[in-house]
Amino acid sequence: MTRKEGEKVDKERLTQVGRAMKELGVQMIAAYSPPARGRSERSFGTWQGRLPQELRLAGITTVEEANRYLRERYIGEFNAKFRVAAAEKGTAFRKTSRSDLNWIFTIQTERVVAKDNTVAIGSRHWQIEKTRFRHTLAGSTVTIHEHLDGTVSIRYGPHVVGRYHATGERLASGSQQPRRGKGGSVEAVENQKQVSPGSPTPWEISRKARDSHISTAPMTARVPTTAKIKPQNSKEAA
């Protein structure tokens, strides 16, 4: 992001997209030239100016109808009109080595835990229960992750200290579950979960407005779990 209009991008103050790209190892190239800025502004103008009128003319009034319109009609028409053939063949895409995409593709917000062990974003509040390693997190800085499926997770360092439904109710799984294996934890398993099948695509319209956020890179733990096999009784074997 830029501090003031016309200044260069501040690489230390990343947007949510910039933070996610950095975690994935994707280098973003800032557009400083007038032609590049003009192309981006015209694209934004099309989405912000023309798309609402297209939705109005189609009689669309709900988020579900709007997302269906985007997938089935608008994106195809947009690409057919503005797509330009690549000058060279080949692809710059590569597979990511990260398995915790469900954590990378989240809206991340840092908050200091209040004395009553709660955190808040705007009018939304979450109660953090007692963890196995600390009675209270009051005064500690945690990261609130808003996932694509609407659920919310709260992390203190590598530890998941709370998981909640979009409506605010606490999910069944949380920090009260036992550790799994030597040096491993439930958090390590949670970090490797992929985006749920019901998550919206990047083209879809969000159901609610987001607050301003401060990005932070999550810490992950990858420790293999172990299993103990109970020896079989010799008499039973016989």
**Do residues 101 and 218 make contact, with C-beta atoms less than 8 angstroms apart?**
no
Backbone angles phi, psi at 168, to 5 degrees: 110, -15
DSSP string, 21-78: HHHHTPPP----SHHHHHHHHHHHHIIIIIHHHHHHHTT--SHHHHHHHIIIIIHHHH
Q: Which two tokens stand for residue 182?
A: 């030597």
**Do residues 168 and 124 make contact, with C-beta atoms less than 8 angstroms apart?**
yes
From residue 196, give the alpha-carbon distance in Å to each of 105, 159, 192: 12, 21, 12
pTM of the model: 0.58
Q: Which of 30, 213, 221, 29 is nearest to 106 (CA)?
A: 213
C-alpha 51/C-alpha 58 separation (Å) is 11
Per residue of the chain (238 residues), give pLDDT as tens: 555 666 777 777 888 999 999 999 888 887 777 777 788 888 888 888 888 999 999 999 999 999 999 999 999 988 998 888 888 888 878 888 888 999 999 999 999 999 999 999 999 999 998 888 888 999 999 999 999 999 999 999 999 999 999 988 998 754 444 344 444 444 444 444 444 444 455 555 555 544 444 444 444 444 444 444 455 554 444 4
